[in-house]
Amino acid sequence: MANEPANRRVVSRRVTKAGASPAPRPAKGAHRARSSTAREQPSSKRYTPPVTRADLPSPAWVPILMFGLLIAGALVIILNYVGALGGVSNVKLVIGLGLILGGIITATQYR
């Protein structure tokens, strides 16, 4: 028991006096005014619902382009393997896959 540490007195690290409330912190992401003379208005404690966007339907050309690219890509791949485009080529296969990918990307824009 000779190696026990001596009892140490704990010193409080309190910044504000006991019972006093600290100053309110600014909202997260709020920036201070550039000028020291400009006063910040207090933020409201009320809940404000998020603004909803009215999603309008897509124009008529979006589904037409989507199906056109998908069908054109499938036709290029099929005609490549049949040999109707002048022999089998990997370049034509990549072009067909690119057209199909373009159709899929266009499908993500459809509402």
Q: Is residue 97 part of a domain?
A: yes
pLDDT for position 35: 52
Task: Please give the tally of structural domains in the chain.
Answer: 1
Q: Is residue 81 part of a domain?
A: yes
Q: Is residue 99 part of a domain?
A: yes
The three-point CA angle 18-20-24 to 5° equals 135
pLDDT for position 65: 97
The two three-digit tokens of residue 53, written as one number: 């966007």
Alpha carbon distance 34, 66 (integer Å): 50
CA-to-CA separations, 47 to 7, 8, 27, 50, 97, in angstroms, rounded? 51, 48, 14, 9, 49
pLDDT in tens, the chain (111 residues): 567 666 777 777 777 677 766 666 666 666 555 555 555 666 777 888 888 877 888 999 999 999 999 999 999 999 999 989 888 999 999 999 999 999 999 999 888
Q: Is residue 46 part of a domain?
A: no
Q: Is residue 21 part of a domain?
A: no
pLDDT for position 85: 86
Alpha carbon distance 16, 23 (integer Å): 10
What domain range includes position 70? 61-107
pLDDT for position 26: 62
